[in-house]
């Protein structure tokens, strides 16, 4: 599918996102906890997993965390474009104290560091209305040499997106779908879902396979990303294949998580590295 190319916009030092408000979800079955349905993870094991924080907007509580991101080079972080938008104005938000938090699994600690951001690139085709092309690249003001990075999937790759492929999603988001934000990083394994299935789950063109892909337990629910996980990585075989983007509720059967399909825009992202 041909990609519409918009004007390139380079946005400097803006950023932020709507307060990660939890949408209500039907009561979850007992034992379904974490990211949702996952377990603890750590930035020792996953050194490329970073948090986006803004203390002026979200407070010192949890280091100001509001989204996730992935270190893909010593100076570049890939996240979701919507993390950098203001939901009320539908415009990129101005967050002078935007920080990338590296090496801090537990947000109540001062482990690792909070790195200022010198430049923000948002995909020029990103649409807040359609959620399409939900990707952004942040440039770190202080390089992070020696920290392991996660490689991007190749442009046009299809193998990692085969239905049933095991993927893992990471984040500090809501663990219950009711506004319970953890201090520590979590992860959960979710199978990739066929585009045709996801198009039925999100009808009327809400799901667009050109720039999105779904993952989760389609029939039973219980495992998913949720509010606050946005921008964080969906990983298959040690590569960044998706970014937490949107979904109806969290971990609901028949409403899987929708991710930015990184293989659809890997070249554009690489052009920013
Ligand atoms: N938009 C949400 C955020 O800003 C992420 C929602 C993901 N939802 C899901 N059910 N996977 O944090």
Range of the structural domain that residue 244 is part of: 159-264
229 is catalytic: no
In this structure, the answer to whether residues 16 and 106 fall within a common structural domain is: yes
Per-residue pLDDT, 203: 96
Q: Angle 47-174-57 (CA atoms, 0-180°, nearest 5)?
A: 80
Residue 204 lies in a domain: yes
Cα(78) to centroid(ligand 1), Å: 16
In this structure, the answer to whether residues 141 and 222 fall within a common structural domain is: no
Q: Which residue out of 82, 105, 174, 245 is catalytically annotated? A: 82
Per-residue pLDDT, 43: 85
In this structure, the answer to whether residues 78 and 170 fall within a common structural domain is: no
39/31 Cα distance (integer angstroms)? 11
Question: Average pLDDT, whole number, for the chain?
Answer: 89
Model confidence, pTM? 0.88
CATH number of 130's domain: 2.40.10.10
Cα(225) to centroid(ligand 1), Å: 6
Contact 141/19 with Cβ under 8 angstroms? no
Last residue of a domain, one of 130, 149, 168: 149
Instruction: Quickly state the pLDDT bin for 79 (edges 50, 70, 90).
Output: very high
For residue 138, how many other CB atoms are within 10 A of its CB? 29
For 9-61, what is each residue's pLDDT tens digit? 433 333 333 333 333 333 333 333 348 988 888 888 899 999 999 999 999 99
In this structure, the answer to whether residues 139 and 190 fall within a common structural domain is: no
In this structure, the answer to whether residues 219 and 114 fall within a common structural domain is: no
Q: Which residue out of 187, 211, 230, 245 is catalytically annotated? A: 230
Last residue of a domain, one of 105, 123, 149: 149
Residue 72 lies in a domain: yes
| Ligand 1-lining residues (CB < 6 angstroms) | 20, 173, 224-230, 244, 246-247, 250, 257
Reply yes or no on whether the pLDDT at 227 is more than 50: yes
Residue 250 lies in a domain: yes
Residue 272 lies in a domain: no
Residue 105 lies in a domain: yes
Instruction: Quickly state the pLDDT bin for 1 (edges 50, 70, 90).
Output: very low
What the block records as the tokens of 66 is 């509001």
In this structure, the answer to whether residues 90 and 215 fall within a common structural domain is: no
Residue 42 lies in a domain: no
Per-residue pLDDT, 42: 87
Residue 34 lies in a domain: no
For residue 27, how many other CB atoms are within 10 A of its CB? 9
In this structure, the answer to whether residues 12 and 141 fall within a common structural domain is: yes
Give the total number of structural domains in the chain.
2
* Partners of 122 in beta bridges: 136
Residue 154 lies in a domain: no
264/2 Cα distance (integer angstroms)? 11
192 — phi, psi (to 5°)?
Answer: -70, 145
Contact 234/169 with Cβ under 8 angstroms? yes
């Amino acid at each position: 599918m041909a990609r519409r190319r918009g004007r390139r916009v380079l946005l400097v030092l803006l950023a932020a996102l709507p307060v990660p408000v939890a949408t209500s979800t039907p009561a979850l079955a007992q034992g379904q906890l974490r990211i949702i349905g996952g377990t603890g993870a750590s930035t020792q094991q996953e050194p490329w997993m970073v948090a986006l924080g803004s203390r002026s907007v979200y407070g010192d509580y949890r280091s100001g965390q509001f989204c996730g991101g992935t270190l893909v080079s010593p100076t570049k972080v890939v996240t979701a474009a919507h993390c950098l938008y203001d939901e009320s104005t539908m415009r990129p938000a101005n967050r002078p104290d935007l920080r990338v938090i590296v090496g801090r699994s537990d947000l109540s600690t001062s482990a690792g560091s909070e790195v200022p951001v010198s430049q923000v690139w948002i995909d020029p085709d990103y649409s807040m209305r359609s959620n399409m092309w939900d990707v952004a690249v942040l440039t770190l003001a202080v390089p992070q040499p020696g920290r392991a990075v996660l490689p991007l999937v190749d442009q046009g790759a299809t193998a990692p997106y085969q239905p049933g492929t095991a993927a893992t999603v990471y984040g500090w988001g809501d663990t219950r779908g009711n506004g319970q934000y953890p201090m520590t990083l979590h992860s959960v394994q979710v199978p990739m879902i066929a585009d045709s299935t996801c198009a039925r789950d999100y009808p009327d063109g809400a799901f667009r396979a050109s720039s999105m892909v779904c993952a989760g337990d389609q029939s039973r629910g219980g495992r998913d990303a949720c509010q606050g996980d946005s921008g964080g990585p969906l990983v298959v075989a040690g590569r960044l294949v998706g970014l937490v983007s949107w979904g109806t509720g969290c971990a609901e059967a028949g409403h899987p998580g929708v991710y930015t399909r990184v293989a659809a825009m890997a070249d554009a992202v690489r052009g920013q590295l």
